[in-house]
């Protein structure tokens, strides 16, 4: 298994380009199943989760062509199977995103039930209840969700929990249902809005994307179009925090500052000087960062996917930062690894109290999930000595060429076979 070796102590300096958003690319690729005609999706990041999604579509018989620059052409007219098997779903929970489109367009789907994962139990009950409200017959047995339906019927669905992929699944299903659906307590994440934009370009009639209530007038048919996924706000936030923790100065290009409000506010509070343009962000951290308190929340709140990175920042900041995780129940595994690097962290329920230290010390650490691994890399960038980050397959699920991008900014980092 490959590992990352990081020699800490270099302030990051320079410019890099931000990739397309993983969490927008995955639902948009699932939405291609709805199109009557080939779709072209651009700005797709080159990541394991994207490869898994393409493999999933390929196994269903969907025709895929990957052009230069990761522009992917998808033609679902050749589909022959409606199944998302366990061996793919277990590596990527977002495979659940094919459930709504398969059911809405082809009237059947068989999707392995995603289990729990390193950050919590992560049920999909809201997805299932919503589809049942639209008339789907759903049977759960042998670890599979087996769903059947004639044409789905529009429904008013109040989602008990604000869920990103749940909102996306139900939005895709409602787009082809008969009548007008209303989804209440919908997720407002930019990736949900990007999917709605893509579906509307395909001929869907969705209004309210980016608010808590979506109104979806079902249509008979959706068409193949070209769509370019939006920039990755979590990748952006991760590199900004990497610059902040190393007291560096970086410029990130091809990003979207307006999607990062809560993150930029916290980095500014920690002492960073931030400038933004239409599609770039520059960050300079002139001195040792100050500790910040954060509490995660659905968009536009502070993203849970940036919690671990801010924990890393707090470990070397001046003062004590209080970090509360409200979205997932078990998302502090990185803190236990950071403690092994000399971080002073006390966890009490869903809150981590982090007392900043002058310097972390390198240690071999294990990544437990995608964002946890990114936070350990950030910790390694400022630790004295050589940090080895193990199980980096997690990081490859969501960060395109992380070691190349960090090296371009002057970090001493390399990938090694074990």
CA angle (239 as vertex; 89, 263 as ends), nearest 5: 85
- Residue with Cβ nearer ligand EPU (282 or 369): 369
Q: Contact between 26 and ligand EPU (CB under 6 A)?
A: yes
Of 166, 231, 248, 342, which one interacts with ligand EPU (CB under 6 A)? 166
Q: Contact between 305 and ligand EPU (CB under 6 A)?
A: yes
- Residue with Cβ nearer ligand EPU (144 or 328): 328
Angle between helices 99-106 and 125-133 (to 10 degrees): 20
**Nearest partner of 224 among 196, 201, 207, judged by Cα:** 201
**Residue window 335-374: x/- pattern of binding to ligand EPU, with contact defined by CB under 6 A:** -----------------------------------xx---
Angle between helices 22-31 and 190-201 (to 10 degrees): 30
**Nearest partner of 286 among 299, 298, 274, 273, judged by Cα:** 273
Number of residues that bind ligand EPU (CB under 6 A): 24
Mark out the alpha helices in 222-274 (DSSP H runs): 233-245, 261-269
Q: Contact between 186 and ligand EPU (CB under 6 A)?
A: no
Q: Which of 117, 188, 198, 401 is catalytic?
A: 117
Of 62, 124, 193, 338, which one interacts with ligand EPU (CB under 6 A)? 124
Q: How far is the CB of 176 from ligand EPU (least distance, A)?
A: 21
Q: Contact between 259 and ligand EPU (CB under 6 A)?
A: no
Q: Which residues pair with 83 in a beta bridge?
A: 110
Q: How far is the CB of 167 from ligand EPU (least distance, A)?
A: 8
**Nearest partner of 91 among 139, 56, 130, judged by Cα:** 56
Q: Contact between 235 and ligand EPU (CB under 6 A)?
A: no
Residues 201-218: b if buried by 16+ CB within 10 A, e if exposed: ebbbebeebbeeebbbeb
Among the candidate windows 33-41, 104-112, 162-170, 386-394, which touches ligand EPU by CB under 6 A?
Answer: 162-170
Q: Contact between 20 and ligand EPU (CB under 6 A)?
A: no
**Nearest partner of 52 among 84, 78, 82, judged by Cα:** 84
Q: Which residues pair with 14 in a beta bridge?
A: 250
Mark out the alpha helices in 287-369 (DSSP H runs): 307-315, 333-339
Q: Contact between 126 and ligand EPU (CB under 6 A)?
A: yes
| 117: annotated active-site residue | yes
- Residue with Cβ nearer ligand EPU (246 or 375): 375
Q: Contact between 301 and ligand EPU (CB under 6 A)?
A: no
DSSP conformational letter for 178: B
| Residue 47 neighbours by CB under 8 Å, 6+ apart | 22, 396, 397, 398, 399, 400
Q: Contact between 125 and ligand EPU (CB under 6 A)?
A: yes
Q: How far is the CB of 389 from ligand EPU (least distance, A)?
A: 16
Positions touching ligand EPU (CB under 6 A) are 23, 26, 93-94, 120, 122-127, 161, 163-166, 191, 304-305, 327-328, 370-371, 398
Just list the catalytic residues: 117
């Amino acid at each position: 298994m490959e590992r990352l070796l990081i020699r800490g102590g270099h302030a990051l300096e320079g410019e890099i380009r931000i990739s397309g958003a993983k969490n927008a690319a995955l639902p948009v690729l699932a939405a291609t199943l709805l199109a009557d005609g080939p779709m072209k999706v651009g700005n797709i990041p080159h990541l394991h989760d994207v490869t898994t999604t393409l493999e999933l579509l390929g196994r269903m018989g969907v025709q895929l062509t990957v052009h230069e620059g990761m522009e992917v052409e998808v033609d679902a007219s050749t589909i022959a199977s409606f199944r998302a098997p366990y061996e793919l779903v277990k590596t990527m929970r977002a495979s659940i995103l094919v459930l709504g489109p398969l059911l809405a367009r082809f009237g059947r789907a068989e999707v392995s039930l995603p289990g729990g994962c390193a950050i919590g139990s992560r049920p999909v009950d809201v997805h299932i209840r919503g589809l049942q409200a639209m008339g789907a017959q759903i049977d759960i047995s042998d670890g599979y969700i087996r769903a059947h339906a004639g044409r789905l019927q529009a429904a008013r669905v109040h989602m008990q929990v604000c869920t990103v992929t749940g909102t996306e699944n139900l939005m895709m299903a409602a787009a082809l249902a008969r009548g007008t659906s209303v989804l209440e307590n919908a997720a407002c994440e930019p990736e949900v809005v990007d999917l709605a934009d893509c579906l509307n370009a395909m001929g869907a009639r969705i209004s309210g994307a980016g608010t808590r209530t979506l109104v979806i007038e079902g249509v008979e048919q959706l068409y193949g179009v070209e769509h370019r996924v939006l920039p990755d706000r979590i990748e952006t936030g991760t590199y900004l925090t990497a610059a902040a923790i190393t007291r560096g100065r970086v410029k990130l290009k091809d990003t979207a500052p307006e999607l990062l409000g809560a993150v930029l506010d916290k980095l500014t509070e920690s002492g960073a000087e931030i400038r933004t343009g239409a599609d770039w962000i520059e960050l300079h951290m002139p001195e040792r960062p100050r500790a910040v308190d954060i509490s995660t929340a659905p968009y536009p709140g502070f993203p849970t996917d940036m919690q671990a990175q801010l924990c890393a920042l707090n470990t070397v900041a001046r003062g004590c930062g209080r970090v509360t995780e409200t979205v997932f129940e078990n998302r502090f595994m990185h803190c236990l690894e950071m403690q092994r690097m000399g971080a002073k962290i006390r966890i009490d329920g869903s809150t981590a109290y982090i007392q900043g230290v002058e310097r972390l010390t390198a240690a071999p650490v294990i990544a437990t999930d995608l964002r946890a691994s990114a936070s350990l890399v950030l910790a390694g960038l400022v630790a004295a000595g050589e940090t080895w980050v193990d199980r980096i397959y997690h990081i490859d699920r969501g960060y395109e060429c992380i070691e190349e991008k960090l090296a371009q900014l002057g970090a001493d980092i390399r990938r090694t076979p074990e």
